[in-house]
């Protein structure tokens, strides 16, 4: 561990921190001097029950790695997609270290199906872990930071949410996952606007890396989780002051600022269109517009 790092003195929570991207983020934050709360429920790739909070759980193994390297970390094995689990996650950081500076929302799993084969349970489960699993810890952390700000204590808090190219462009066979990840972008924009007054910056990263979630569907990915973590660490540090409400894509050695919906070609008749006029105008505007990015898998 470096004697002084970018995150020296900061307390960082990483959800889904036991494997893949989350593990890489937790280790990278610790290497930069942060004290880390590693959350992981220990479930299988599809969310089925796994190792849980047992002594050999993924979260505890990462904590042991951090401690072996000279860092400081604690494990949390609760379900952050529940009110109780999200509250206990924030409480774990405060009880262990007396403060919270950064929340990295990363937990998730996949239940891929083509739309006509996608069951309601598969839809609900993916929405729950990705979207609700971002919302509940974010709300709990934001409430804490608001209280700190109102008490007159300086806050330089950071939230890094995890979206996906699937949520930005769509991905065949991943309607539930794509919808959840698109929702995370919307949540990021709102949270950034609402919590900035309390000293909180909220951004999102769309990572592309070889993990157990991507190795089957996207075998040609060049990057590994450790390639994404440097950007996440910077966004989670005080060095990212002034950067909020933005979405980045990170893969291998490439970082891209993703530009979302904004007004393109427009026409205003000044009165109500007929259906035929509306169609003719829409086709004209589409001819002037930038074509959308290709949906993954097409």
- Catalytic (active site) residue 177: yes
Q: Other C-beta atoms within 10 Å of 223: how many?
A: 18
pLDDT reading at 66 higher than 90: yes
**pLDDT value at residue 53:** 45
User: What is the percent of the chain where pLDDT is above 90?
Assistant: 83
**pLDDT value at residue 222:** 65
Is 292 a member of any domain? no
**pLDDT value at residue 55:** 47
**pLDDT value at residue 49:** 55
Is 233 a member of any domain? yes
How many domains are there within the chain?
1
Q: What CATH number is given to the structural domain containing 35?
A: 3.40.50.720
Is 3 a member of any domain? no
Q: Is 186 helix (H, G, I), strand (E, B) or coil?
A: helix
Better pLDDT: 50 or 292: 292
224 in Cβ contact with 208 (< 8 Å)? no
User: What is the percent of the chain where pLDDT is above 70?
Assistant: 90
**What is the pLDDT confidence band of residue 10, given thresholds at 50, 70 and 90?**
very high
Domain span at residue 175? 11-258
Tell me the per-residue pLDDT of 74-101, one tens digit each, with 9 for 90 and over.
999 999 999 999 999 999 999 999 999 9
Long-range contacts of residues 176-179, Cβ cutoff 8 Å, at least 24 apart: 176/111, 176/113, 176/118, 176/122, 176/123, 176/126, 176/127, 177/110, 177/111, 177/112, 177/126, 177/130, 179/127
pLDDT reading at 35 higher than 50: yes
Is 6 a member of any domain? no
**pLDDT value at residue 42:** 78
The dihedral of CA 73, 198, 131, 180: what is its sign? Answer: negative
**pLDDT value at residue 48:** 58
What are the structure tokens assigned to 54, written together? 């047992």
**pLDDT value at residue 31:** 98
The Cα 109–Cα 169 span in angstroms is 19
249 in Cβ contact with 204 (< 8 Å)? no
Mean pLDDT of 22-37: 98
Can you state the angle between helices 225-235 and 20-31, rounded to 10 degrees? 50
What are the structure tokens assigned to 295, written together? 């949906």
pLDDT reading at 147 higher than 60: yes
Is 152 a member of any domain? yes
Q: Which of 35, 177, 237, 296 is catalytic?
A: 177
pLDDT reading at 251 higher than 90: yes
- Catalytic (active site) residue 53: no
**What is the pLDDT confidence band of residue 56, given thresholds at 50, 70 and 90?**
low
- Catalytic (active site) residue 164: yes
**pLDDT value at residue 4:** 76
**pLDDT value at residue 167:** 95
Q: Which of 35, 57, 132, 164 is catalytic?
A: 164
Q: Which of 35, 97, 132, 181 is catalytic?
A: 181
Is 296 a member of any domain? no
Is 67 a member of any domain? yes
Is 85 a member of any domain? yes
């Amino acid at each position: 561990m470096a004697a002084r790092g970018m995150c020296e003195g900061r307390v960082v929570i990483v959800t889904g921190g036991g494997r893949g991207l989350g593990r890489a983020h937790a280790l990278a934050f610790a290497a930069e001097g942060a004290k880390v709360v590693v959350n992981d429920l220990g479930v299988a790739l599809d969310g089925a029950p796994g190792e849980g909070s047992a002594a050999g759980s993924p979260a505890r193994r990462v904590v042991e790695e951090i401690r072996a390297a000279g860092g400081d970390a604690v494990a949390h094995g609760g379900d952050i997609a529940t009110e109780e689990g999200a509250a206990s996650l924030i409480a774990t950081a405060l009880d262990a270290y007396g403060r919270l500076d950064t929340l990295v929302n990363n937990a998730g799993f996949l239940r891929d199906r083509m739309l006509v084969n996608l069951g309601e349970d598969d839809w609900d489960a993916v929405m729950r872990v990705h979207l609700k699993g971002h919302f509940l810890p974010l709300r709990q952390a934001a409430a804490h930071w608001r209280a700190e700000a109102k008490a007159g204590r300086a806050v330089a808090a950071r939230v890094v949410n995890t979206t996906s190219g699937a949520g930005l462009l769509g991905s065949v066979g991943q309607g539930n996952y794509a919808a959840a990840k698109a929702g995370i972008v919307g949540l990021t924009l709102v949270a950034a606007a609402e919590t900035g007054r309390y000293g909180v910056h909220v951004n999102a990263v769309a990572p592309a890396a070889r993990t157990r979630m991507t190795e089957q569907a996207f075998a040609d990915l060049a990057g590994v989780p450790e390639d994404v973590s440097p950007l996440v660490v910077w966004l989670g540090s005080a060095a990212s002051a002034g950067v909020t409400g933005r979405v980045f894509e990170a893969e291998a050695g490439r970082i891209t600022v993703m530009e979302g919906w904004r007004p393109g070609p427009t026409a205003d008749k000044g009165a109500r269109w007929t259906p035929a006029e509306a169609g003719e105008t829409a086709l004209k505007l589409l001819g002037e517009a930038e074509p959308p990015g290709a949906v993954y898998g097409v």
